[in-house]
Structure 1
Amino acid sequence: MPIGGEGGWDFLYVDPAGERLYVSHATQVEVLDLKSHRVIGTVANTPGVHGIVVVPSAGHGYITCGRTNSCVVFDLKTLKTLTTIPTGPKPDAVFYDEFSKRVFAFSNDGGQSTVIDPATDKVVGTAELGGDVEVPATDGKGHIFVNLEDKSKVVEFDARTLAVLHRFPLAPGAEPTGLAFDPQAGRLFSGCANEKLVVTDSKTGKQIAVLPIGKGVDGAAFDPTTGNIVTTNGGDGTLTVIHQDSPGKYTVVATVPTARGARTVAENPRTHHLYTCTADLGPAPVATAANPKPRPSILPGTFRVLEFGK
Structure 2
Amino acid sequence: MPDIPGPDGRWDFASWDAAHDRVLVAHGKDVLLVDPVSHNVRSIGEIEGAHAALAIPGGDRVLVSSGHDNTVRLIDSVSGTQIASIPVAGDPDATVLSPDGHTAYVMGADSGAISVVDLDRLTETARIAAKPGLEVPVLFGNNMLAVNDEGLGEIEIVDLSAGKMTGTIAMPGCKEPTGLAYAPQFGLALSACGNGKAALVDLRSRKVVRLLPIGLGPDTAIWDDARRRFLVPCGKSGSLAVITLGHRGASVVSTVQTQASARTAAFDPASGRLYLPAARFQPAQSGKRPEMIAGSFHLVVLSPRSN
Deviations 1:76-129 (A, max 9, x none): 332211111111111111211115831111111111111110111111001111
**3-state SS of the aligned residue for 2:179?**
strand
Inter-partner Cα distance in structure 2 for 1:144 and 1:5: 35
**3-state SS of the aligned residue for 1:104?**
strand
**3-state SS of the aligned residue for 2:58?**
coil
2:291 maps to 1:297: yes
**3-state SS of the aligned residue for 2:178?**
strand
Cα 1:4–1:75 change in 2 (3 A) is: closer
Inter-partner Cα distance in structure 2 for 1:164 and 1:58: 32
Cα 1:6–1:277 change in 2 (3 A) is: same
Query: Retained in 2: the 8 A contact 1:48–1:67?
Result: yes
1:30-49 alignment, distance < 5 Å: 30-39=32-41, 41-49=42-50
1:278 maps to which residue? Answer: 278
1:1-310 alignment, distance < 5 Å: 1-39=3-41, 41-57=42-58, 59-98=60-99, 101-139=102-140, 141-246=142-247, 249-287=249-287, 294-310=288-304
CA shift, 1:7, in A, is: 2.4
CA shift, 1:200, in A, is: 0.7
Task: State the Cα RMSD in Å.
Answer: 1.6
Matched positions, count: 302
Inter-partner Cα distance in structure 1 for 2:274 and 2:265: 7
Query: Retained in 2: the 8 A contact 1:279–1:302?
Result: yes
Cα 1:99–1:206 change in 2 (3 A) is: farther
The letter for the 2-side match of 1:195 is G
CA shift, 1:222, in A, is: 1.4
Query: Retained in 2: the 8 A contact 1:97–1:140?
Result: no
Inter-partner Cα distance in structure 1 for 2:60 and 2:162: 26
Inter-partner Cα distance in structure 2 for 1:252 and 1:124: 41
Show structure 2 runs of 5+ residues with no match: none
Deviations 1:124-150 (A, max 9, x none): 001111131101111263111110111
Indicate the larger mover: 21-30 or 178-187.
21-30
Inter-partner Cα distance in structure 1 for 2:101 and 2:279: 37
Deviations 1:50-84 (A, max 9, x none): 10112123642210111111111111332211111
Query: Retained in 2: the 8 A contact 1:228–1:244?
Result: yes
CA shift, 1:296, in A, is: 2.4
**3-state SS of the aligned residue for 1:145?**
strand
Query: Retained in 1: the 8 A contact 2:228–2:245?
Result: yes
Q: State TM-score, norm by structure 1.
A: 0.93
Inter-partner Cα distance in structure 2 for 1:38 and 1:20: 10
Inter-partner Cα distance in structure 1 for 2:165 and 2:131: 9
Q: State TM-score, norm by structure 2.
A: 0.93
Inter-partner Cα distance in structure 1 for 2:8 and 2:292: 7
Cα 1:10–1:80 change in 2 (3 A) is: same
Following TM superposition, where does structure 1 have runs of at least 4 consecutive aligned residues deviating by more than 4 angstroms? Answer: none
Deviations 1:231-273 (A, max 9, x none): 1100010001111133x62211111010000001221122221
Show structure 1 runs of 5+ residues with no match: 288-293
Q: How many percent of aligned residue pairs carry the same amino acid?
A: 28
CA shift, 1:205, in A, is: 0.8
Indicate the larger mover: 163-172 or 176-185.
163-172
CA shift, 1:160, in A, is: 3.0
Query: Retained in 1: the 8 A contact 2:50–2:67?
Result: yes
The letter for the 2-side match of 1:51 is A
Inter-partner Cα distance in structure 2 for 1:114 and 1:143: 15
Cα 1:281–1:100 change in 2 (3 A) is: closer
Inter-partner Cα distance in structure 2 for 1:91 and 1:177: 15
